[in-house]
Amino acid sequence: MMKRKVPGRLLAIAGILAAIGIALALGLNIYVMAVGKKGFIDPAQFDGKVDCVIVPGARVWDGGTVSYMLRDRLDTAYQLYSSGAAAKILVSGDHGSSDYDEVNAMKEYLAELGVPEEDIFMDHAGFDTYSTMARAKRVFEVESCIVSTQEYHLYRAVYLAGKQRMEAYGAVCDVYVSRRLPYYKLREMAARIKDVYYAEILKPDPVPGEPIPITGDGRLTGDGLS
């Protein structure tokens, strides 16, 4: 039985569509990176004042030990807090089940560095970067922030914070370089495309919560969805 040949016109159309898709993906990534880059600061040179430093969650090992990448985010946040750039630190991560808890691990790490508990706010429903930034604005009523995370992630984080109408800056904290960084960067390209759709078009509501102003007492953000 002879196989049918795919008409050249269909191949050409498929090629054009593929090229358009690639161009769109690259364009959206360039857009997010350009917007986010505008807010990048040098933590050692920043002389402004913001409501808080936001620390997005990352892997926590068994026993509540923060991963190296998360440690770098927290150390940079502590540096900014200690310098007076921010009066509060908002740690936001995954605490969707009783057996995995990023936020309390982050809080304990900061407390061991000497940050008073009233200055550490926990967002237990920061399940992704969009949720972290949306809840920072809508639940914790943050008006201005510095986001502390790795460079590959920081572009999108600052972009999303700005889309929530926060005055947003970004502090790069690339001390530990993971062997999986190429994978993270590739995954981040897809995440940027998704979050442009979220931030510009879909605009989903994050997990709801009663307002807990960042200007108040962080001890109010105990365990649970707050």
User: If pLDDT is split at 50, 70 and 90, which confidence band does 226 have?
Assistant: very low
Q: Where are the domains of the chain?
A: 9-216
pLDDT in tens, 47-81: 999 999 999 999 999 889 999 999 999 999 999 99
Q: Which residue has the higher pLDDT, 4 or 80?
A: 80
Could you write out the DSSP letters of every residue in 18-49?
HHHHHHHHHHHHHHHHHHHHTTEE-TTT----
The DSSP code for 97 is B
Q: 202 phi and psi, to 5 degrees?
A: -70, -45
Q: Is residue 1 over pLDDT 80?
A: no
Q: What is the pLDDT of residue 225?
A: 44
Q: What is the pLDDT of residue 3?
A: 56
Supply the CATH classification number for the domain 9-216: 3.40.50.620
For residue 11, give the 3-state DSSP assignment: helix
Return mean pLDDT, the chain: 94
Q: What's the average model confidence in pLDDT over 188-217? A: 96
pLDDT in tens, 96-133: 888 899 999 999 999 999 999 999 999 999 999 999 99
